[in-house]
A and B are shown apart, each in its own frame.
Chain A
């Protein structure tokens, strides 16, 4: 039963469920981003030492968090797909990778635009920045290896190897500001200490983080639905689903 769930039922059921969730994710993203930007630009005060340049934090920190969270999620699903021969998990890993890479790029880009006014330089080869750049290369490596192997399941396994080995880098990024003497400041938010920020700044940052989560879910669900259709095109349910008016409704998921 479990075997069949992984092997067949999952993609069809997942396709429909994800299709239902996507509009809700977009609605949540719109509301959270609007609220976060409002608080960030109109309620949070100007920083005493950094002026208004600090407002980059409202996208920089959420993007950096997403870059790491999505990498862990990608490695997790790639590993599940490999260990349990679960196709859907491998497809999910592939669907997460481009969005994770995009957030990694944004973390680096906004970091450079914050580093220039704060430190006087766009880039330094500091432990935090360098390990985040390596994360971008790991995403690129995953995407490249998966794209370069024609046989889908072999590509999934090769990608999983890259993703799992590369996940060593995530704690390195996170602890880099503690382990090495870096130009990058330490963690603003930790689980063990009280936040060292004005509450409106904190609220804006958390709202933007939730907005980015909603965005990531919406995009990853949509991309994974496309991947499911591309990969499962010889299964009976996909043809029915594609012809249904909204792509989600008709398929019964019971192939003959």
Chain B
């Protein structure tokens, strides 16, 4: 095992800012985009339903 403790893991050998700065932004982008597309799909469906019943 590379890490002896959690703090060692988060420190990333002194490169924590760079490693976590990369991973955090990637995780944020890849969490937000699926929500946005799901909302767009739901909106498209709802618009069709409204059109049909109106």
Residues of A within 8 A of B (CB): 41-42, 44-46, 51-53, 55-56, 59-60, 63, 98-99, 102, 105-106, 109-110, 113-114, 116-117, 215, 218-219, 222-223, 225-227, 229-230, 233, 238-239, 241-243, 247
Which of B1-20 touch A at CB < 8 Å? 1-3, 9, 12-15, 18-19
Going nearest first, the 7 A-B pairs with the smallest beta carbon separation are A242-B48, A229-B44, A52-B13, A53-B15, A226-B41, A110-B22, A52-B12
- Residues of chain B at interface, number, CB under 8 A: 32
Chain B nearest CB from A244 CB (Å) reads 9
User: Is B52 a contact of A59 with CB atoms below 8 Å?
Assistant: no
User: Is A233 a contact of B47 with CB atoms below 8 Å?
Assistant: yes
User: Is A239 a contact of B48 with CB atoms below 8 Å?
Assistant: yes
Of the candidates B14, B23, B26, the one having the most CB atoms from chain A within 10 angstroms of its own CB is B26
Residue of A nearest to B41 (CB): A226
Residue of A nearest to B39 (CB): A226
Interfacial chain B residues near A239, Cβ < 8 Å:
48-49, 51-52
Instruction: Provide the bound-state CA to CA distance between A215 and B26, in Å.
Output: 12
Interfacial chain A residues near B44, Cβ < 8 Å:
225-227, 229-230, 233, 242
Given A59-B26, A114-B22, A242-B52, does the pair A42, B2 have CB atoms closer than 8 Å?
yes
Interfacial chain A residues near B30, Cβ < 8 Å:
102, 215
User: Is A222 a contact of B49 with CB atoms below 8 Å?
Assistant: no
User: Is B21 a contact of A243 with CB atoms below 8 Å?
Assistant: no
Interface secondary structure of A, over-half rule: helix
User: Is B51 a contact of A225 with CB atoms below 8 Å?
Assistant: no
Count of inter-chain pairs, beta carbons less than 8 A = 107
User: Is B1 a contact of A42 with CB atoms below 8 Å?
Assistant: yes
Instruction: Provide the bound-state CA to CA distance between A53 and B48, in Å.
Output: 49
Chain B nearest CB from A57 CB (Å) reads 10
Interfacial chain B residues near A110, Cβ < 8 Å:
22, 25-26
Chain B nearest CB from A239 CB (Å) reads 5
User: Is B13 a contact of A243 with CB atoms below 8 Å?
Assistant: no
**1/0 contact string of B29-54 vs chain A (CB within 8 Å):** 11001100110110111111101100
Instruction: Provide the bound-state CA to CA distance between A173 and B18, in Å.
Output: 24
Given A46-B2, A59-B22, does the pair A229, B45 have CB atoms closer than 8 Å?
yes
User: Is B19 a contact of A52 with CB atoms below 8 Å?
Assistant: yes
Q: Which among A44, A45, A102, A109 is the interface contact of B33 at CB below 8 angstroms?
A: A102
- 27 A-B interface contacts by CB (under 8 A): A45-B2, A46-B2, A52-B13, A52-B15, A56-B19, A56-B22, A59-B23, A102-B29, A106-B26, A110-B25, A113-B21, A114-B22, A117-B18, A219-B33, A222-B37, A223-B37, A226-B43, A227-B44, A229-B47, A233-B47, A239-B52, A241-B48, A242-B45, A242-B48, A242-B49, A242-B52, A247-B45
User: Is B2 a contact of A238 with CB atoms below 8 Å?
Assistant: no
Given A52-B12, A102-B29, does the pair A219, B22 have CB atoms closer than 8 Å?
no
